[in-house]
Structure 1
Amino acid sequence: MKTLSDINFRDPYILSVPELEQYYLFGTDGLTAWSGAPHGFDVYISSDLQEWSGPIAAFRPDPDFWADHHFWAPEVHRYNGKYYMFASFKRHGVPRGTQILSAETPEGPYLPISNHPITPASWECLDGTLYVDKEDKPWMIFCREWIEVTDGEMYAVRLKEDLSATIGEPMLLFQASQAPWTVGGKEGQYVTDGPFMHQTSSGELLMLWSSSGASGYAMGLARSVSGDISGPWQHDPEPLYAKDGGHGMLFRDLTGRLMLAIHAPNLNPQERPLLIEVQESSRTISIKSL
């Protein structure tokens, strides 16, 4: 058994499955996040968020799989009775993209539902996440990278009901520099990372997302003025988490508490999953305890 301090994961994602009384932890392997040949994605399993069994192989690429490095940010959503993994991949000379995989059980094994990424083939993209709107229509929210556009962009695109392909063109939601808390690089680069959608009990639509802040890697909140994915999107003036950590997601534990999972610090290979209890008001969320 391991604790979270033993698990070198970036971009942690925890799937809570109440009927099984289990949590499933996915993430980017810190050892191969930036260099080396990743073996795939692993999952750890816990019943109390304290002790974790694993790692268990959740995804292992076939020999002819198109990507060979930068296996990043796997997140798993339960949708229409199956489990879908959204993850980003890269190959030398081929733009980074998010691909969708599926499995019958939370731990996998996950298999690609297509032989290519679902993000635009000519764009450098990452961190696709699933959002299901008020009409039960699936969307993918994803980032277009600063390495291509300088000022990182956030997009939404409709998905087919089986998540196998997109419908229509991606819709630009905002650019990273529009948030008051973001800090640009020496040549004006602004990062967009790790979107995650959350709807409050009153119907307020929020997005967690990460970028560079005054104290390093940080995570902020954006909210849709209309309550729909189309926005327009307003940004909180200060980040939700500013202490060199981010790429967050929210889940409810088995007692109903709303929990935030991030990685901190952002320095490789020291990053570890960090769980923080948060509280929700009608319009927002805030950190309850550290």
Structure 2
Amino acid sequence: MRLPDMPLHDPFIVADEQSGTYYLYTSNDQATSGVDGVGTMVYRSHDLRDWMRPVVVFLAAEQKDIWATDGGWAPEVHAWGGKYYLFTTLHNQDKPLPVPPPGPWGTPFQVPNHMRGTVTAVSDSLLGPFTVIDPSRPTPPENLMTLDGTLHVDPSGQPWMVYAHEWLQTIDGTMEAIRLAPDLSGTVGAPVFLFKASDASWISEQIPSGVPHQLPPYVTDGPQLYRTPDGSLLMLWSTYEKDVAGQEGSISGGYVQTCAVSKSGTIEGPWQQCGPLVRNDSGHGMLFHTFDDRLMMVLHRPFDNARGKLYEMQLLGHELRVLRRRADLDGGG
């Protein structure tokens, strides 16, 4: 298989040097994997061009007493303490959350909130099967509607989960972080606010009035942390660019890959927003190194019926740039 033939939303690649294999994780797609159910599947390749048919590594329905029934979004797999940990976002519309009190822009559209958040599952193998550590609740605080949790380990060795707090609760979506226990089995302390989506001033200048409910105003999506050789801390993230003043993209189709840099080099920031890296309804990217040590970014495009796209990247200090599109690997388009 090649990338143009592979349904692929929220891609995450693990480059396993021991086996010389790239593992590409995404939400389970029954038509591709042959397995029904909410979960995670993985493609494998030795060259980023030709991929094996996916195998399913996690199914929510196989987790005893799991709180969630749907989702399976944004799976990531991280090596930690001799094991592999899967983070993936699940939700359950039959578990309502209270509508939060009015914030600075009023109550968030009175949209019914329900339990949504990233779960943590563990395995001895990159091919699973992965078992949820705590089936009773998501890893971030369960009263928050969150998604897209990712792992960050700070210089002291403290693991964190960084996640997006849904605009459905906040209108202006936020990025937050919470400390994890040493074995990633739970959280320690309270969440730490990192930044809000509207901090990226290029999105638009102010909260629009009368925005229809189906169009998200300020979205935070897909965080991924990366430590640069000069010690800077970058965060890739995605949002929707407003269609204002002739800018490319629109609120309904302008999904954008962007990034931010921590001025302190720590997860607490403060975070400085950079400009868009890739437009054209592209996003939820992550960085990885090829086996010949090229820095690459994988993302999906378009948002609906997504396929994986690959970019060779360049770092100038803490400035991340697109060096070239790898259409030779992802098939163009």
> What TM-score results when the alignment is normalised by the length of structure 1?
0.93
- Deviations 1:46-99 (CA, angstroms, capped at 9, x unpaired): 111111112111102326432111210101111122111111001113310110
Q: Percent identity?
A: 40
Distance 1:265 1:212 in 2: 13
Residue aligning to 1:102: 122
- Deviations 1:223-247 (CA, angstroms, capped at 9, x unpaired): 11111111011101x2111221000
Distance 2:156 2:315 in 1: 24
Q: 2:158 aligns with which of 137, 142, 145?
A: 137
Displacement of 1:207 after TM fit? 0.4
Tell whether the 8 Å contact from 1:38 to 1:71 is kept in structure 2 after alignment. no
Distance 1:181 1:83 in 2: 38
Residue aligning to 1:87: 88
Residue aligning to 1:280: 315
Equivalent residues in 2 for 1:11-90, closer than 5 Å: 11-29=10-28, 38-61=37-60, 62=62, 64-90=65-91
- Is the aligned partner of 1:262 residue 2:296? no
Displacement of 1:252 after TM fit? 0.4
- Deviations 1:208-263 (CA, angstroms, capped at 9, x unpaired): 00000141000111111111111011101x21112210001000011110110100
Tell whether the 8 Å contact from 1:10 to 1:273 is kept in structure 2 after alignment. yes
Report which of the two structures shows the higher radius of gyration computed on alpha carbons.
Answer: 2
Distance 1:259 1:15 in 2: 12
- Is the aligned partner of 1:211 residue 2:210? no
Q: 2:195 aligns with which of 174, 183, 205?
A: 174
Tell whether the 8 Å contact from 1:88 to 1:126 is kept in structure 2 after alignment. yes
Give the direction of change, closer, same or farther, for the CA distance of 1:122–1:174 in structure 2 (3 Å limit): same
Displacement of 1:151 after TM fit? 0.5
- Specify every segment of 5 or more residues in structure 2 that has no aligned partner in the other structure, as ranges: 96-114, 243-248, 326-333
Equivalent residues in 2 for 1:110-121, closer than 5 Å: 110-115=130-135, 116-121=137-142
- Specify every segment of 5 or more residues in structure 1 that has no aligned partner in the other structure, as ranges: none
For residue 89 of structure 1, give the secondary structure of its aligned residue in structure 2. Answer: strand
Number of aligned residues: 282
Give the direction of change, closer, same or farther, for the CA distance of 1:88–1:232 in structure 2 (3 Å limit): same
Which deviates further from its counterpart, 239-248 or 56-65?
56-65
Tell whether the 8 Å contact from 1:38 to 1:68 is kept in structure 2 after alignment. no
Displacement of 1:30 after TM fit? 6.4
Tell whether the 8 Å contact from 1:10 to 1:30 is kept in structure 2 after alignment. no
Code of the aligned partner of 2:287: L
Please identify which structure carries the higher strand content: 1
Which deviates further from its counterpart, 20-29 or 58-67?
58-67
Code of the aligned partner of 2:80: Y
Distance 2:202 2:129 in 1: 39
Tell whether the 8 Å contact from 2:28 to 2:38 is kept in structure 1 after alignment. no
- Is the aligned partner of 1:199 residue 2:220? no
Residue aligning to 2:264: 226
Code of the aligned partner of 1:230: E
Tell whether the 8 Å contact from 1:221 to 1:240 is kept in structure 2 after alignment. yes
Tell whether the 8 Å contact from 1:102 to 1:112 is kept in structure 2 after alignment. yes
Tell whether the 8 Å contact from 2:27 to 2:39 is kept in structure 1 after alignment. no
Q: 2:284 aligns with which of 239, 247, 250?
A: 247
Distance 1:240 1:213 in 2: 12
Distance 1:38 1:281 in 2: 43
For residue 191 of structure 1, give the secondary structure of its aligned residue in structure 2. Answer: coil
For residue 93 of structure 1, give the secondary structure of its aligned residue in structure 2. Answer: strand
Distance 1:178 1:264 in 2: 24
Code of the aligned partner of 1:248: G
For residue 221 of structure 1, give the secondary structure of its aligned residue in structure 2. Answer: strand
Give the direction of change, closer, same or farther, for the CA distance of 1:31–1:234 in structure 2 (3 Å limit): farther
For residue 147 of structure 1, give the secondary structure of its aligned residue in structure 2. Answer: helix
Distance 2:300 2:118 in 1: 20
> What TM-score results when the alignment is normalised by the length of structure 2?
0.81
Displacement of 1:140 after TM fit? 0.6
Give the direction of change, closer, same or farther, for the CA distance of 1:31–1:218 in structure 2 (3 Å limit): farther
Tell whether the 8 Å contact from 1:245 to 1:264 is kept in structure 2 after alignment. yes
Displacement of 1:29 after TM fit? 4.4
